[in-house]
Structure 1
Amino acid sequence: MLCVLMGRKGENPNGFFDQLSHPQSTAPLSFVTSLPSPTADRSSRLQQSTASSRGLRRRLQRPLRQSSRAPSVSTIPNRQHRQSPARRRSPPSPLPSRDSSSPSICSIEFEEAIVTASTVENVNSLKRKSDDIGWQYGKLVDPNNKDKVMCNFCKNVNSGGINRFKKHIAQVGGGVAKCKSCPNEAKLACLNWLEGTEKKKQDKVVRELGLRSDVNVSSGGQQEEDLTCAAVAFNAIENDEFKQMVEAIGQFGPGLKPPTQYELREPLLKAEYARTKSLLSDREAEKEKNGCSIMTDAWTDMKSFIKSKDTSAISHTGEVIFELVDNAIEEVGAEHVVQVVTDNASNNMAAKALLLEKRPNIFWSSCATHTINLMLQGIGNIPRFKKIVDQAKGFTIFIYGHHRTLECMRSFTKKREIIRPGVTRFASQFHTLQSLLDKKYSLRKMVVDAKWENIKETSSKKGKEAYDTVLSVRFWNGVEICLKVFEPLVKLLRLVDGDVKPSMGFVYGELLKAKREIKEAFKNEELRYKEVIAIVEKKMRGRLDAPLHLTAYLLNPHYSYADSSIFDNVDITTLITCVEQFYHGCDEDIHDEVVNIEFTKFQRKQGLFGKKMAKNCVNFDYNPG
């Protein structure tokens, strides 16, 4: 058995392995070994190697380390080690050459240790990791077959799983071979286990019958109790599926057995998955006909998308995002993808360049929701608007920070909240300002009432600031101007963030409309609106005024048929750019047909474009709701 391997001080510790592979090498080594006699009994060596197989494997795999001093080794000396001091101080002779065809004693023992260890692992794999008492008296014949169990006592192989095997040990049941070799305690243990299992089944049946007898269909409180105990959200009763389930139960009548957990997890879930997938057939047909968009977003909830990937452990570089998007395009089918939509982060822009290089016919668009949110953020950071927003925030924080002030506010607003959430943080600020303005007179009445003065917290610094804010005329005037500036963009944000109607053809047109309304809010005084409009134009530049957005705006009869001057104001090169990218690699005759023939018909309202339905698009109501 190999005990210690150590290279000489200052030498390569791996020289030992070089010495084994090159026996003719004369490089001196300092090592201490204790090798068994070659004529030792093979079974004895096998027992030794089995007992130390794990430690031996770890020591051989552990890298050898140099030491600044000689190791202290304790071994039982044999005849070869009993030498004179002078002889022990002499350098060791080179290792003798060995026939490569005959394995060394060390290698034989190591191989035997591995074989023995693998045998132990195979035995362990036949033992199930279960608390079922049956596995104490049996084991699997084949780890891949859970139905055949071998008895540890009579070595009989039983088919039918662990439950049938316990009947074999307990010597009960018909059609089951009885074990004649098992001890009495094993028999009693399995018998008690089987009786306990049967009792649980009977108790479950009795309990279910009792539950049915306790149901009172004439009382609405029964349904309330059931929903509460199951932690079902109250708004679930508004789902059509929930109503259909209740109706189906009523039509069946008493005695309906609910599905088991296995049925819910396996067959019923698979059937529902297949049904849901069949409902997407219309979307698949639409995708093949009109194309689709690939959208990406960083989100912690992986339930929000058709497919998600955990990338928390890797850096979100442009190359990584490009690979994710490109794989998604391959999965959907490149011929069906029209555009990729992401936010405006720099890594996404780097991925955009890589995608355009590989797939020049696919558009890469900036997320309109993200861009408009940046506009609101920029405007909200202007000092005159930020001051109003901070005052409103301080007031709401004070109100909701104390239960007595909150109760007081609700008593004056008739239990209506002053905080209203929106699709984004800045949209929430707009809705909260709007809510405050709607309750302006109730709040002003509240802070001058004796009930407010009797609240201890209102005498604090923040309480006095809240009092001054509500009674400030300048604050309410600022709220009104904030709403006039924010409202056009918030309305546009709701439009692009909705999923009821497609909004691509309306983004640029509604942005122009929002800019006009912002100017009107400042009475068209350039000095007052200049800073706000500059932020809007900066954020939309290169994002929401791209050739794809301008072309969609140009080809939308809601705008172009209502004002034909749009054909003169929008550069025709944007249309040509989109056509060249969309039909990249196609024959130039297609480009010519789209730009010079089809677009001319649309512009002059000829053919199908002159039909009443097409002209009625001018009056199309695009209300985001």
Structure 2
Amino acid sequence: MSASGTSEVASYKRKRNSDDMAWEFAVLIDPDDLQRVKCILCGKEMSGGVTRMKQHIAGIKGTVTSCLQATLDQKARCKVAHEAPKKRKKEKQKQEEEVGALVTIEANENEDDQEELNEVGKGAENVVQIVMDNASNNMGAKAMLKSKSPKIFWTSCATHTINLMVEAIGKLKQFAPTITKAKEMTCFLYAHHATLALMRHHTKKRDIVRPGVTRFASAFLTLQSLAAKRKQLTDMCCSPTWEDCKHTRTKKGKVAHATIMSRAFWKNVSLCIKVFEPLVKLLRLADSDGQFMASMYGQIIETKKAIMLVVESLEKDYKVITTAMESKMNGRLDTILHMAAYALNPYYSYTTASIFTDVEVMSGLMEAIEQFYHGDDDKQDKALNTDLPKFKKKEGMFGKVAATRAITNQNYNVGKLVLNDNFAILHLWKFWDGAL
């Protein structure tokens, strides 16, 4: 073959430096023209690069003729790859629509930002609450939105915030080493067919790794599973099969053996489970279907009490754990809206009279009423000075059976009460009942 022929073949076989699946079927015709490609199945030459090649292989009509040599599998794969960008764009648009008027708002105050904020404000009369995660740009938007639409409540996603709380506690020195040891041990057992088969033989084919709604929930469930199977795992480590397995004689195998046979490890596993159990319960509550704004702050208080009992009221350990919790929940799950919901939930306020003398809670309730009825002094005054005293004394609508029934159910749907315009506070009551 001539030198020119060799050069042509080299150029023909050259592909772009890309991991796009279309290059399974395409080669460049000219290395200087990255959009000119040739199908290696049928020899068809075309412009348009990999996008056109996927249309060619998939048989998408309108821009290029179909490849007659492509198999059904190749056509299907190219069709999926071709439609993927459109699908991602559509999903992104859907997510943007779901957050309503809140689009991208940066933290600087230039003219473009003001125009975007104006767009948010156009529908403000129909927006009562915005729930978002704790990303920094969302926190920046919060301050800007409050100045533009002061009636709108901004609330952090409870599930995201509680997960951050659990994660922060899981990183404490009291728990992190135990979680790490458990992870290393389970990874070793699942890494080899021999050890996995041996483990399943002793556990009656039951796995020790259990998935949860989040990574740290999974860690908790796995610790629970390990604790329940402690005897089977220790029996496994004492069996002749374990002794004869080549993997158990490695460094990782010896570490796994030491972990399983360690009394201190199992004692710490038990502590982790007891501390994390009320937190995971709270996480499940927030992540489940339903309306839990009314009980969220109260549930957090109950979670702290449960943790205090677990650590046997040792102030030092309790303080470390609650400090980690509060570092993530402050300003997110203790907002004025959470305080108002807590104060107006009969399950808590009618059974714990001290709530009405709690400065932090009542200040939050007052601020929530002022924000809910922003600019309407008459309704603010009526809610605080007329309706709230009636609520405390269970008078009028607040003394009805449907209302008092909520005393025994922290998530009772008080919003189903017949609302009367004479009770301004009932509107706020109905609001937090439907809040996220």
State TM-score, norm by structure 2: 0.68
Which SS does the other structure have where 2:128 is aligned? strand
CA-to-aligned-CA distance 1:431-458 (integer Å, 9 cap, x gap): 1111111111111111111122222101
Which SS does the other structure have where 2:175 is aligned? helix
Cα shift at 1:307: 3.5
Bigger RCO of structures 1 and 2 (CA < 8 A, at least 6 apart): 2
CA RMSD in angstroms comes to 2.8
1:527 equivalent in alignment to 2:316: yes
Contact 1:329 1:337 (8 Å CA) reproduced: no
Which SS does the other structure have where 2:162 is aligned? helix
Aligned pair count reads 322
* Partner residue in 1 for 2:402: 613
Unaligned runs of 5+ in 2: 1-61, 67-87, 98-102, 413-436
Cα shift at 1:377: 1.5
User: Paired residue for 2:215, among 425, 428, 436?
Assistant: 425
Contact 2:308 2:318 (8 Å CA) reproduced: yes
The CA distance in 1 between the partners of 2:260 and 2:242, in whole Å, is 13
User: Paired residue for 2:350, among 561, 567, 591?
Assistant: 561
Which SS does the other structure have where 1:364 is aligned? strand
1:603 equivalent in alignment to 2:385: no
* Partner residue in 1 for 2:10: none
The CA distance in 2 between the partners of 1:321 and 1:507, in whole Å, is 34
CA-to-aligned-CA distance 1:249-286 (integer Å, 9 cap, x gap): xxxxxxxxxxxxxxxxxxxxxxxxxxxxxxxxxxxxxx
Amino acid at match of 2:379: I
* Partner residue in 1 for 2:6: none
Which SS does the other structure have where 2:129 is aligned? strand
The CA distance in 2 between the partners of 1:430 and 1:301, in whole Å, is 36
Amino acid at match of 1:554: A
The CA distance in 2 between the partners of 1:416 and 1:344, in whole Å, is 38
1:476 equivalent in alignment to 2:266: yes
* Partner residue in 2 for 1:365: 155
The CA distance in 1 between the partners of 2:241 and 2:105, in whole Å, is 55
For 1:257-336, list aligned pairs within 5 A: 303=91, 306-308=94-96, 317-318=106-107, 333-336=123-126
* Partner residue in 1 for 2:25: none
CA-to-aligned-CA distance 1:44-96 (integer Å, 9 cap, x gap): xxxxxxxxxxxxxxxxxxxxxxxxxxxxxxxxxxxxxxxxxxxxxxxxxxxxx
For 1:396-545, list aligned pairs within 5 A: 396-499=186-289, 501-545=290-334
* Partner residue in 2 for 1:348: 138
Cα distance 1:559–1:469, how it changes in 2: closer, same or farther (>3 A)?
Answer: same
Instruction: Select the structure of larger CA radius of gyration.
Output: 1
Amino acid at match of 2:136: S
The CA distance in 2 between the partners of 1:564 and 1:483, in whole Å, is 33
Cα distance 1:615–1:129, how it changes in 2: closer, same or farther (>3 A)?
Answer: closer
Cα shift at 1:367: 1.8
Amino acid at match of 1:584: H
For 1:13-412, list aligned pairs within 5 A: 131=65, 303=91, 306-308=94-96, 317-318=106-107, 333-412=123-202
CA-to-aligned-CA distance 1:440-497 (integer Å, 9 cap, x gap): 1111111111122222101101001111111111000000111111111111111111
Which SS does the other structure have where 1:365 is aligned? strand
State TM-score, norm by structure 1: 0.48
**Identical residues among aligned pairs (%):** 46
CA-to-aligned-CA distance 1:565-602 (integer Å, 9 cap, x gap): 2111254222221111111123x111111111121111
The CA distance in 2 between the partners of 1:438 and 1:304, in whole Å, is 43
CA-to-aligned-CA distance 1:136-174 (integer Å, 9 cap, x gap): xxxxxxxxxxxxxxxxxxxxxxxxxxxxxxxxxxxxxxx
* Partner residue in 2 for 1:585: 375
CA-to-aligned-CA distance 1:214-237 (integer Å, 9 cap, x gap): xxxxxxxxxxxxxxxxxxxxxxxx
Cα distance 1:302–1:548, how it changes in 2: closer, same or farther (>3 A)?
Answer: farther
Contact 2:346 2:406 (8 Å CA) reproduced: yes
CA-to-aligned-CA distance 1:541-561 (integer Å, 9 cap, x gap): 222111111010000111111
The CA distance in 1 between the partners of 2:207 and 2:115, in whole Å, is 46
